[in-house]
Chains A and B, each alone.
Chain A
Amino acid sequence: MKQPLIEIKNLSAGINGKQILKGINLTVRPGEVHAIMGPNGSGKSTLGYVLAGRKGYDVTGGSVTYDGKDLIELAPEDRAREGLFLAFQYPVEIPGVNNTYFLRAAYNEQRKHRKQEEVDAVDFLAIVKEKMKLLDLPDSMMKRAVNEGFSGGEKKRNEIFQMAVLDPKLAILDETDSGLDIDALRIVAEGVNKLKRPDNAAIVITHYQRLLNYIVPDFVHVLFDGRLIKSGGKELALELEEKGYDWLIGKNGK
């Protein structure tokens, strides 16, 4: 079996003293796709933020080993440079910063970290063009400010586009499917699939089984009240779609 890319052990975390994650155990190996499902407020986004290193999200117990390193010790930018990517559930608007400029700044900071040469605007444009084709994005999006005035769906597509350019080892997609119409969903999912390689992995947070028709997961987990209460194969998603969460929560109920 391959070495784990990320190993989350008994992770507890909270915000402002409020305990949200209450002992998460999850191991993701290269080449795998894990889906995390669960009712609203169960802590899915919190898990994403904790892994990405958001201020104010305090780890109170457990450990996270990423690519052999103690992830919790790393600054958010260092996590990104080491290949961790979070696609936000609610991507942030940054008025006044051109989308292409932003992405090139990020790309070059990551390259610098890896002791690779920075790319100039011209070469970067070539990279951008190729990835845009992959995701069927309009040119105009790259001329605008980061996410400013983007529709919900455009923001999500921009997240995946950033992912495509930054080429992470571990991508965490937080409800990237919500807000997408069915065509966009298919394009985004196909994009994600094309980016999939034996040496990278994804954690896909979603409420909908329909996404998992396109991005087929190796594992499906149910997060409820800060714990993964059930794990299974892709058929678990179908079961959840049919039966909801009550039958699981009943067993693990508060």
Chain B
Amino acid sequence: MTTTKSKAASELAAHLAACESFAASAPGPEWLRRLRRNGVTHFTELGFPTTKLEDWIYCNVAPIAKLAFKPSAGADASVTAKQLEPFAFPGWTGSRLVFVNGHFSPALSTLPAPQKGVTVTNLAAALTSGDPLVQAQLAHHAGLDASGFSALNTAFIADGAFIALAPNAVAAEPVHLLFVSAPGDVANTAQPRNLIVAGANSSAKVVEHFVSLGGAAHFTNAVTEVVVGEGANLEHAKFQEENLEAFHIATVQATLARDSRFLSHSISTGARLARHNINLVMIDQGVDCVMNGLYAVGGKQLVDHHTVADHAQPHCGSHEFYHGILGGSSRGVFNGKIFVRKDAQKTDAKQTSRNLLLTDTAIVDTKPQLEILADDVKCTHGATVGQLNDEALFYCRTRGIAEVNARRLLTHAFASEIVNRITVEPVREHLEQVLWARLEELIEKK
């Protein structure tokens, strides 16, 4: 026991040393350097979460600590545009910001045409230009103390996407953020930090897309902070299709102001271990938000979604739809917290988690967690784990569709229900292609 303990301690020490040296030497204004040091302090205290922590019971991140830790210094110049072709959305003519190992690659990126009131750039550039919004918002939303991972990301803040909308600005086109991991000999760590600030009554659509080149292990530790201003409307889609050796930990933390709309999607098919934290805080009345999610995994994959709908104020609605398709010996975790604070009367919160098990060896743990302190509220939740609906299968067969095809049709349909909520068509099309292939694999390998 002592040897494993000291080994874990030395692994952690290596990470800490890397944090400290980065925080000490990385450039930036004093406030940023202080922020990074803060991250180091918190990470020192928290370390990596263990399965003793309630929120990490099913998610053993020990293999991450064991990875040789190699924070990447900059974008890998050897990545070519050709290598990125499979990740283009069909018929997409818009812009695309490419981050290689967490760092912006101007050569691989196409910035959108300049538009008044709309800033789409990388965080490093915004830090250099001294955009006051960055200092005002960065790390003000994603809690440093939530888990060691957010702290670690903060200790390494260097680059990521920065999207800002002035009041009333309507982004002319959706923004595609492509995060590419190009693992080398040593598994590298990418820690993109994204900040999206939507001013009052503005509107935008942002897609975060995580992919790998090659099949070697790597570690992504991403944090995205989203600030949705009064009456603003933001759609945020996250699609994780990293390779099956990857470790992916990510937090989306959104602060939603009065009468704002927020549509969140999380589609997760890749990684050996994927942990998604999606936390929405409704800080004022009249917010309407949707959390829409789909995971399709097989083999020995683990995918874990922890979501929070925090109703801090009255008259807000949150609607959550999560579907899971699990094959092989994979494991899925869904934990949906709904907080209804004392003053949050007339809250309307709805949560459904539905899971389809394709094999006897796949497991899913789904758990709603409701904490309701107000009395005049409407909260519903439902979770199912099981096989395809027999009645629907029979119905298909009475129309002449063979049983295996009926199963296939219904499995794809189960995924489509989630994908169809994405309003950006080329993204939907890309997802349908990737999911189709993935589901066929899962169905065949069952």
Contacts and interface: CB of A to CB of B under 8 A. Distances in A.
Interface of A: 52-55, 75-77, 79-81, 85-86, 88, 91-97, 102-103, 105-107, 109-110, 113, 145, 162, 166
Contacts of A113: 400
A52 B393 CA distance: 13
B398 A80 contact: yes
Given A92-B392, A96-B415, A96-B420, A75 B398 contact: no
A80 B399 contact: yes
Contact of B400 (A77, A93, A97, A145): A77
A77 B416 CA distance: 24
A103 B266 CA distance: 31
A107 B402 CA distance: 12
Contacts of A54: 394
B413 interface: yes
B400 A106 contact: yes
Given A54-B394, A55-B394, A91-B395, A96 B413 contact: yes
Contacts of B395: 88, 91-92, 94
B403 interface: yes
Given A80-B398, A91-B395, A75 B412 contact: no
B409 interface: yes
A220 to B, nearest CB: 25
Contacts of B391: 92
Given A102-B409, A105-B409, A109-B405, 20 more contacts: A53-B398, A75-B397, A76-B398, A77-B401, A79-B398, A81-B400, A88-B395, A92-B389, A92-B394, A94-B392, A94-B413, A95-B413, A96-B414, A96-B417, A97-B410, A97-B416, A105-B401, A106-B396, A109-B400, A109-B401
Given A91-B395, A92-B392, A106 B413 contact: no
26 contacts: A52-B394, A55-B394, A76-B394, A76-B398, A77-B398, A77-B400, A77-B403, A80-B397, A81-B400, A85-B398, A91-B395, A92-B389, A92-B392, A94-B396, A94-B410, A95-B417, A96-B414, A96-B416, A96-B420, A97-B409, A97-B413, A105-B405, A105-B409, A106-B399, A109-B400, A110-B400
Contact of B390 (A55, A95, A107): A55
Contacts of A77: 397-398, 400-403, 406
A80 B413 contact: no
Contacts of A52: 394, 398
A55 B406 CA distance: 15
Contacts of A92: 389, 391-392, 394-395
Contacts of A91: 395
Size bin of chain B's contact surface: 20 to 34
Closest CB pairs A-B (n = 9) = A96-B413, A106-B399, A80-B400, A76-B397, A96-B416, A92-B395, A96-B417, A110-B400, A97-B413
Contacts of B402: 77, 109
Interface in B412-445: 412-417, 420
A162 B396 CA distance: 12
A90 to B, nearest CB: 9
Contacts of B417: 95-96
A88 B391 CA distance: 11
Contacts of A53: 397-398
A162 B400 CA distance: 12
Nearest to B412: A96
Interface in B213-249: none
A173 to B, nearest CB: 13
Most chain A CB within 10 A, of B395, B409, B410, B420, is at B395
Contacts of B392: 92-94
A96 B400 CA distance: 19
Nearest to A103: B399
Nearest to A97: B413
Contact of A106 (B394, B401, B412): B401
B399 A166 contact: yes
A70 B392 CA distance: 25
Contacts of B400: 77, 80-81, 106-107, 109-110, 113, 166
B402 to A, nearest CB: 5
Contacts of B413: 94-97, 145
Nearest to A86: B398
Q: Which of A75, A76, A106 has the most chain B CB within a 10 Å cutoff? A: A76
A106 B26 CA distance: 62
Contacts of A105: 401, 405, 409
Contacts of B409: 97, 102, 105
B95 to A, nearest CB: 31
Contacts of A94: 392, 395-396, 410, 413
Nearest to A106: B399
Taking each of A85, A86, A92, A96, which has the highest tally of chain B beta carbons within 10 Å of its own beta carbon?
A96
Contacts of B397: 53, 75-77, 80
A188 B357 CA distance: 40
A113 B403 CA distance: 14
A147 to B, nearest CB: 9
Contacts of B396: 94, 102, 106
